[in-house]
Amino acid sequence: MIYRDRKDAGNQLAGKLTHYRDKADVIVLGLPRGGVTVAYEIAEALHCPLDILIVRKIGFPGNPELAAGAVSETGTVVLNEDIVSGYGVSKEYLDRETARQKEEIARRITLYRQGKGVPPLTGKTVILVDDGVATGATIKAAISTLSREKIAKLVVALPVASQDAEREIAPRVDEWVCLQAPAGFRAVGNYYSDFTQVEDEEVVAMLK
């Protein structure tokens, strides 16, 4: 299945989440930037508040699209141990890249939330949304971050994921809603007709 764009994917996902519509304790968290567009459509359909959880990929040396790990805005770092150990990624590189991504996280917190931290999540049902998952490093960092908050329930909602990511991540959450996990998974962008990069200004507008 190919989505027209992230808005189309969000509308289709919202159809699988109607049991959360108009529930006062539900919040939708999008992973910037692409995940926020998907999350926005879900939040609109469910009449739920929208916010973000800022997580940055720690790219593999020479191939930043391949995740050696990820770091969240609360400082949680999750490493993709298979890649780190299998390819001998050095601690020095990981420390340097983690510090660089933390700088970008700080910039985004200032831009997107005017410097405020993660919204209060105690007792909430959190619907965590991205536009797709390949290795899963980014969303695993998000899940680890949320596991330290006193949330009532964690739902992960995705338009597409690799089968490896689904096998690994689905057991870690209370509800896994993924529209497709195709065999022979390729890059997330291959499942969209329009996968244009989402700009900061668009994220700010959606949050407003």
**Is residue 72 a contact partner of residue 141, using CB atoms and an 8 Å limit?**
yes
Residue ranges of the domains in the chain?
Answer: 6-54+114-207, 57-112
3-state secondary structure of 33: coil
Residue-wise pLDDT for 89-145, tens only, equals 999 999 999 999 999 999 999 999 999 988 899 999 999 999 999 988 889 999 999
Nearest Cα to Cα of residue 64 among 127, 137, 153: 137
| Separation of alpha carbons 203 and 208, rounded Å | 9
- Positive or negative, the CA dihedral 138, 141, 146, 152 is positive
The pLDDT of 176-187, averaged and rounded, is: 96
Nearest Cα to Cα of residue 191 among 124, 106, 130, 131: 131
Q: Are strands 77-79 and 63-72 parallel, antiparallel or unpaired?
A: antiparallel
Burial class (CB in 10 A: 0-12, 13-18, 19+), 164: middle
Q: What is the band of 80 on the pLDDT scale with cuts at 50, 70, 90?
A: confident
Return the higher-pLDDT residue of 24 and 148. Answer: 24
- CATH top-level class for 57-112? alpha beta
Cα 113 vs. chain centroid, distance in angstroms?
17
- Positive or negative, the CA dihedral 121, 111, 107, 115 is negative
Q: What angle do CA 177, 37, 194 make, to 5 degrees?
A: 95
Of the candidate CATH numbers 3.40.50.2300, 3.40.50.2020, 3.90.1300.10, 3.30.360.10, the domain formed by 6-54+114-207 belongs to: 3.40.50.2020
Residue-wise pLDDT for 46-77, tens only, equals 999 999 999 998 999 998 878 899 999 988 89
Q: Is the preceding peptide bond at 33 cis, omega within 30 degrees of 0?
A: yes
Strand order in the sheet with 77-79: 55-60, 63-72, 77-79
Tokens coding 168? 């690994």
